[in-house]
């Protein structure tokens, strides 16, 4: 994939706030470890691809309404209130919330940012 990518491009990997210091929770060790590897890969690629002017960043979403865990927020809406209590902005994230962060990271507006993992979680874990 990288050999086919034009110089001057941008990559945004998807990590998780579960792999950040503020997101560690019991029962997520395998998932958090895998996402932590994505965060490390992001920083390594940022250095390795810098000579080609390829920016590499990651977004670390918090609890977001997706199909993860078999669409749990739709199947079991009773799990939403306790999760929302951990989010200062007071709601579960939507895919569009994460998409806007990714779009910013890919845009020229994010052109001076590389090697960073940004948490997009509504403040979950603060």
The model's pLDDT over 50-64, given as tens digits with 9 standing for 90+, comes to: 999 999 999 999 999
In a domain, 76, yes or no: yes
Q: What is the 3-state secondary structure (H, E, C) of 77-99?
A: HHHHHHHHCCCCCCCCECHHHHH
pLDDT at 26: 82
pLDDT in tens, 19-75: 998 777 788 899 999 999 999 999 999 999 999 999 999 999 999 998 876 788 989
Residues 6+ apart with CB under 8 A from 15: 35, 36, 38, 39, 42, 58, 59, 60, 117
Q: Which domain holds residue 102?
A: 7-120
pLDDT at 38: 98
The CATH number assigned to the domain holding 81 equals 3.40.50.720
In a domain, 66, yes or no: yes
Look at residue 109 and tell me whether its pLDDT is greater than 90.
Answer: yes
28 is catalytic: no
How many domains does one find in the chain?
Answer: 1
What does the alpha-carbon distance between residue 108 and residue 55 come to, in Å, rounded to a whole number? 11
Residues 6+ apart with CB under 8 A from 122: 62, 87, 88, 89, 90, 91, 93, 97
In a domain, 84, yes or no: yes
- Which of the residues 31, 43, 65, 84 is marked catalytic? 31
In a domain, 57, yes or no: yes
């Amino acid at each position: 994939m990288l050999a086919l990518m034009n110089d001057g491009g941008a990559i945004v990997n998807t990590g998780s706030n579960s792999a950040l210091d503020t997101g560690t929770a019991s029962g997520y060790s395998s998932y958090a470890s895998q996402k932590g590897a994505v965060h490390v890969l992001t920083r390594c690629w940022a250095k390795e691809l810098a000579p080609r002017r390829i920016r590499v960043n990651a977004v670390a979403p918090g609890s977001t309404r997706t199909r993860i865990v078999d669409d749990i927020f739709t199947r079991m809406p009773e799990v939403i209130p306790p999760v929302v209590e951990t989010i200062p902005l007071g709601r579960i994230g939507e895919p569009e919330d994460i998409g806007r962060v990714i779009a910013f990271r890919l845009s020229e507006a994010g052109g001076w940012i590389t090697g960073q993992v940004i948490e997009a979680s509504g403040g979950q874990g603060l």
